[in-house]
Homo-oligomer: A and B are copies of this chain.
């Protein structure tokens, strides 16, 4: 159960991307990264984080009196699920076809890319929509 990442709302995706970029952060830190482009109140960022925890997309870990949040799935795994969903549901093409594209342009490390490629090629990641 890869946490059904494509069920996240736009706002939630924004938060997830911050966690992918910066790893484990406090709510306030997440807010610091997200606020400039969204203009949310801090409490909004908190609410989103909590909802994402409930959804299983984010893990929370108490750390010396502060909650730290981190993405529940790595970026490659998450992107694999998202690409698969988009390719199959919207474009109606084979998800694996997207890989070469990513290898050229996405800012993925070599390891990330390798993993993503493996995930998509293997038909792993998410069950096809139907």
Q: Does A13 contact B (CB under 8 A)?
A: yes
A105-B94 contact, Cβ under 8 Å, with A37-B130, A86-B86, A130-B37 = yes
Copies of this chain per assembly: 2
Contact call B82/A90, Cβ cutoff below 8 A? yes
A54 to chain B, nearest CB (A): 20
- Residue-wise interface mask of A (89-118) relative to B, using a CB-CB cutoff of 8 A (1 in contact, 0 not): 111111001101110111100000000000
Tell me, in angstroms, the Cα distance from A82 to B82 when the chains sit together: 13
Q: Please classify the interface of chain A as helix (H, G, I), strand (E, B), loop, or mixed, using the class held by over half of its residues.
A: helix
A48 near B: Cβ within 8 Å? Answer: no
Chain B residues with CB under 8 A of A82:
90
Interface, chain A (partner B; CB < 8 A): 10, 13, 37, 79, 82-83, 86, 89-94, 97-98, 100-102, 104-107, 130
What are 26 inter-chain pairs, A to B, with CB distance below 8 A? Answer: A10-B89, A13-B89, A13-B90, A37-B130, A79-B90, A79-B91, A82-B90, A83-B91, A86-B86, A86-B90, A91-B102, A91-B105, A91-B106, A92-B106, A92-B107, A93-B101, A93-B102, A93-B105, A93-B106, A94-B105, A97-B101, A97-B104, A97-B105, A98-B101, A100-B101, A101-B101
